[in-house]
Amino acid sequence: MSRLAIGRSPSVGYYPAPPMPAPFTAELVARETIAPGIAELSFAMREPARLDFKAGQFVSMAVDAPAAGADPVPRRSYSIASQSDAGDVLRFIVRVIPDGKASEYLMSISLGSLVRMTGPHGFFLLDPSHPGDVVFGATGTGIAAVMPMLGELGRRRESGQETRRCLLLWGMRQEADLFSRQEIDRLVARAGAELHIFLTAPGPHWTDGRGRITPALLERLAEMVAPTFYLVGNGAMITELKRELISRGINRKTQIRTEAFFD
């Protein structure tokens, strides 16, 4: 039975609603440190064999062995960095937080471990179409959610569906933090997007943006045409940017989509 349903967006009419979340099990098949303090983990779907999800959605993972006692097993959410047509292996890009419960669990389990998850969750999804420019503002591992969205935009662009300008502002601390550059560059090129990286602590040879993405995005507002914003990552960035965009006349409901990873 298909898990797709029909939903209604107040701004854009009818569109296929995201698949319904359900429990599933996946096996850790690869884990690699891709930048200091950042790991990429791949989980092969086991039961069922693939997950139907939309670009931008996340899963909830049980980040402990099944509890012997009554305590519920702690859970954490992770955006799916895989392309949405590759639901047999789920990739995640995880900031390893010192002493973090999930971070310790995900970095200590051995390859071959089965992890219980539920998903796909969330409504941080690309609108079915855009009246104007598409603008992504991502900090840190927030780019994980943007990667499949860029892939989806690339596919739409190739079929002539999306022709407007697409802008991606990615905020990080320093050069060494940047990961998955080749893959991101490829996705950006296919989507016909412009990528600007902003570092808050760049080295002397850094030639792209400096500082936080909030002022950089606001400075570019005047040149944008009917933009739709997708903001993901640091919750404080999202709160501030949302407030500033609204105060400049951007419509909160129809033009801003957000996913906060933490406060």
Cβ neighbourhood burial of 68 (10 Å; 0-12, 13-18, 19+) = exposed
Contact predicate 172/216, CB 8 Å: no
User: Is there binding between residue 77 and ligand FAD (CB under 6 A)?
Assistant: yes
Stretch that binds ligand FAD, among 12-20, 41-49, 77-85, 243-251 (CB under 6 A): 77-85
Of 176 and 226, nearer to ligand FAD (C-beta) is: 176
Of 195, 186, 197, nearest in space to 151 by CA: 186
User: Is there binding between residue 58 and ligand FAD (CB under 6 A)?
Assistant: yes
Q: Angle, nearest 10°, between helix axes 181-190 and 143-158?
A: 30
User: Is there binding between residue 101 and ligand FAD (CB under 6 A)?
Assistant: yes
Stretch that binds ligand FAD, among 140-148, 189-197, 204-212, 215-223 (CB under 6 A): 140-148
For residue 60, give every residue at least 6 positions away whose Cβ sits within 8 Å of its Cβ, in sequence order, or none.
75, 76, 77, 117, 118, 119, 121
Stretch that binds ligand FAD, among 137-145, 166-174, 181-189, 222-230 (CB under 6 A): 137-145
Of 42 and 103, nearer to ligand FAD (C-beta) is: 103
Total H helices, total E strands in the chain: 6, 14
User: Is there binding between residue 93 and ligand FAD (CB under 6 A)?
Assistant: yes
The total of other beta-carbon atoms located within 10 Å of residue 169's CB is 23
Residues 201-260 binding ligand FAD (CB under 6 A) are 259
Which spans of this chain sit near ligand FAD (rule: CB under 6 A)? Answer: 58, 76-79, 92-95, 97, 100-103, 122, 140-141, 144, 259, 261-262
